[in-house]
Amino acid sequence: MTYQADDRRYERQPYNRSGRSGLKLPAVSLGLWHNFGDTRPIENSRAILRRAFDLGVTHFDLANNYGVPYGSAETNFGRILREDFTPYRDELIISTKAGYDMWPGPYGEWGSRKYVLASLDQSLKRMGLEYVDIFYSHRPDPETPLEETMGALDRAVRSGKALYAGISNYSAEQTAQAARIMRELGTPLLIHQPSYSMINRWIEDGLLDAVEEAGMGCIVFSPLAQGLLTDRYLGGVPADSRAATSRFLSADRIDLDLARGLDEIARGRGQTLAQMALSWTLRDPRVTSVLIGASSVKQLEDNVACVDGPAFTEDELGAIDKITERYTAR
């Protein structure tokens, strides 16, 4: 059946300006890191993307190596984009990144001009696009001059293959340096994408200040700490859970007291633990958007509903800080 977007889609999501730019992003964006590669049915991916857009999620975030195998998330997204979203391209923010390993040899990762621009060309081909809205340097390269990596981002924008440039996983100092270089080149950085959650607060120690000073937005990933901040583990570690099956999360990181204490606060707010964790990342006005993943339409709907939650009271924030204090990474 031909997809037709919900006429009420823009009534369901707040949109926040990214730093001092003219671009607004939805408070909740959809990341395609997991669940959109060749190991998942494409019709499930299609259903998630359709429902996301119907709920006002206009931003879909990818990277060159997302999916199993690498590149498959972009390929599958490109197919769905072509078949379902062609009439809505100008209503979408599509982002991708280059920085982690993508192909063999010395030119297949990090931050050289050679790799960054070749990766962008490959991503555009996989997705069937003439341009992406945001193109990121996915991580800083300790051996390539920052001027070279930022120069590649500048070139991507000037060539028309990207509308905006961003960075991800850069420290506060690296962010300030990158922003200065890009201002001098005449292509200001739009946004920074770091990890952030109630138990991973490293961006509060200088990065958010650096982002604000540079006039950039901030979109955070892993707000649920790979599932730790959900109700998935309230009763233990299920055999089919990410903690039991993924290299990104191990069972020894699961703390039931942490999850249950936070869940009690969430229930008092009329939210699930995941919804509260997502709302918490958005409490700081310097955070433009939060990236969620989804393996099903129901999970997507539940998480997007975080925007309907109440504002945090000082007592709630204090209680959260007390519970997470000994787990918090800074």
Collect all residues with Cβ–Cβ distance below 8 Å to 293 and sequence separation of at least 6.
Answer: 30, 31, 32, 33, 34, 35
141-150 mean pLDDT = 98
127-137 confidence digits (pLDDT tens): 999 999 999 99
What integer pLDDT is reported at residue 250 of this predicted model? 44
CB 189 within 8 Å of CB 179: yes
- Classified as helix, coil or strand, 151 is helix
Q: What are 206's two structure tokens?
A: 């200088």
What integer pLDDT is reported at residue 152 of this predicted model? 99
Using pLDDT thresholds of 50, 70 and 90, give the confidence band for residue 8.
Answer: very high
What integer pLDDT is reported at residue 239 of this predicted model? 52
Q: Which amino acid is at 299?
A: Q
pTM, to two decimals: 0.93
Collect all residues with Cβ–Cβ distance below 8 Å to 49 and sequence separation of at least 6.
Answer: 30, 60, 77, 80, 84, 85
168-184 confidence digits (pLDDT tens): 999 999 999 999 999 99
Q: Identify the H or E element spanning 78.
A: helix 72-80
Nearest-5° Cα angle at 90, 68 to 84:
50
What integer pLDDT is reported at residue 256 of this predicted model? 80
Q: How far apart are CA 261 and CA 254, in angstroms?
A: 13
The dihedral formed by the CA atoms of 110, 115, 116 and 121, expressed in degrees to the nearest 10 = -140
51-101 confidence digits (pLDDT tens): 999 999 999 999 999 999 999 999 999 999 999 999 999 999 999 999 999
Q: What are 159's two structure tokens?
A: 């060539």
